[in-house]
């Protein structure tokens, strides 16, 4: 691990200012992803700003009946929160499908949104990777791409977004609340928060230097039957090959979001519109524009079959 200096931030404002003023500074929250990458020298911050003690660890109700989740709320606490279990079960389910008990105890809401891809070429510093080293090429395009994305990809990068939590938050139309180095706050719809790779896969979010996530806001509950189905190489503690988050309304409408297949948490309106026509139609709509490799072409069929399983789960609960 490269040497760095360390400070414990005492306020959100001070943390944002420090991050904007020190070249190479990074926030550290749970650290489960950042420290892993620092050991491999994929991340080489010169200065770490510890944001664990800023009081951002509360879950509060918003005036319009939603929920504001502090950026430092641990994945375990969010999944176990009574209100989340009752009103946003798909989010609880998505969180519990991710990582291990130990990691969920440490990993935070804000950090989860910012976690880096699990593309093996991003992790292997001997290989080219446009995300890790812009302009070096993409080892995955002609390489082992079984786990990688088929939607939102580019010639520069086919890395998948690894989060389960973010898929459920995308489904629920959450907003990411931030503060920048000048103390200005903004609320970013989660649909706009993550960037597609295009020619600049190293830019993963719309966050500006120093801008810190303070919370994620969920709109008021939408009711319905909540399902999160994750398909992976082992029964537990593995990243998704395909995951589907769904909420089925009583009126026959439904909404869907997908993990494991997109360069970012994936959701398209056409898939929601196809809900009444079943799994095959939803899969077709969701997969419009999919670009697969020899290794990950199977994901298209897996999406359809996972959706079929999601529909069956809904029927079993109805």
Interacting residues toward another protein by CB under 8 A? 1, 3-6, 8, 28, 30-32, 35-36, 39, 48, 50, 52, 76, 79-80, 85-86, 89, 92-93, 96-97, 99-103, 105-106, 235-237
Minimum Å gap between C-beta 201 and another protein is 23
Structural contact between residues 21 and 181, judged by C-beta atoms closer than 8 angstroms: yes
| Shortest distance, position 52 Cβ to another protein, whole Å | 6
With a CB cutoff of 8 Å and minimum separation 6, the contacts of 96 are: 79, 104
* Minimum CB distance to another protein, residue 27 (Å): 12
Phi/psi for 125 (5° steps) reads: -70, -10
| Choice between 58 and 291, CB closer to another protein | 58
> From CA 201, how far away is CA 216, in angstroms rounded?
24
Residue 11 or 102: the one with the smaller Cβ distance to another protein is: 102
**Rounded Cα distance, 70 and 57, in Å:** 5
Distance CA 11, CA 24 (A): 20
Reference 229, options 148, 304, 150, 145; nearest CA is 304
Closer Cβ to another protein, 106 or 146, answer by number: 106
Q: How near is the Cβ of 5 to another protein at its closest, in Å? A: 5
Nearer to another protein, 93 or 264 (CB): 93
Closer of 98 and 152 to another protein (Cβ): 98
The distance of closest approach from Cβ of residue 311 to another protein in the complex, given in angstroms and rounded to an integer, is: 18
**Apex CA 76: angle with CA 16 and CA 31, to 5°?**
40
- What is the SS3 assignment for 242? strand
* Closest CB 274 distance from another protein, rounded Å: 28
Which lies closer to another protein via its Cβ, residue 189 or residue 223? 223
**DSSP per position, 256-292:** EEEESSBSS-B--HHHHHTGGGHHHHHHHHHTTT---
Q: What is the 3-state secondary structure (H, E, C) of 88-128?
A: CHHHHHHHHCCCCHHHHHHCEHHHHHCCCCCCHHHHCCCCC
Query: What minimum distance in Å lies between the beta carbon of 30 and another protein?
Result: 8
State which residue, 32 or 215, has the beta carbon closest to another protein: 32
């Amino acid at each position: 691990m490269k040497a760095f200096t360390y400070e414990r931030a005492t306020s959100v404002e001070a943390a944002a200012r420090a991050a904007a003023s020190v070249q190479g500074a990074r926030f550290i929250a749970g650290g489960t992803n950042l420290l892993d990458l620092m050991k491999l020298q994929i991340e080489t911050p010169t200065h770490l700003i510890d944001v664990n003690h800023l009081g951002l660890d509360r879950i509060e109700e918003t005036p319009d009946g939603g929920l504001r989740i502090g950026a430092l709320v641990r994945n375990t606490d969010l999944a176990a929160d009574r209100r989340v279990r009752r009103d946003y079960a798909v989010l609880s389910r998505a969180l519990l499908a991710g990582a291990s008990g130990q990691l969920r105890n440490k990993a935070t809401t804000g950090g989860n949104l910012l976690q880096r891809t699990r593309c093996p070429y991003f992790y292997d510093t001997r290989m080219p990777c446009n995300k890790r080293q812009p302009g070096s090429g993409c080892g995955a395009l002609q390489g082992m791409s079984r786990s990688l994305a088929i939607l939102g990809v580019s010639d520069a990068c086919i890395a998948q977004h690894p989060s389960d939590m973010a898929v459920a938050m995308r489904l629920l139309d959450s907003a990411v609340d931030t503060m920048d180095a000048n103390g200005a706050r903004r609320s970013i719809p989660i649909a706009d928060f993550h960037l597609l790779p295009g020619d600049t896969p190293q830019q993963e979010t719309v966050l500006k230097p120093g801008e810190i996530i303070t919370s994620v806001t969920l709109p008021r509950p939408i009711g319905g039957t909540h399902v999160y189905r994750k398909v992976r190489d082992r029964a537990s503690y593995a990243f998704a090959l395909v995951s589907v988050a769904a909420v089925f309304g009583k009126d026959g409408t439904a909404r869907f979001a997908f993990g494991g297949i997109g360069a970012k948490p994936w959701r398209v309106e056409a898939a929601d519109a196809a809900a009444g026509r079943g799994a095959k139609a939803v899969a077709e709509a969701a997969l419009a524009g999919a670009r697969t490799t020899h290794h990950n072409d199977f994901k298209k069929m897996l999406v359809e079959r996972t959706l079929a399983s999601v529909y069956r789960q809904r029927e079993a609960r109805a």
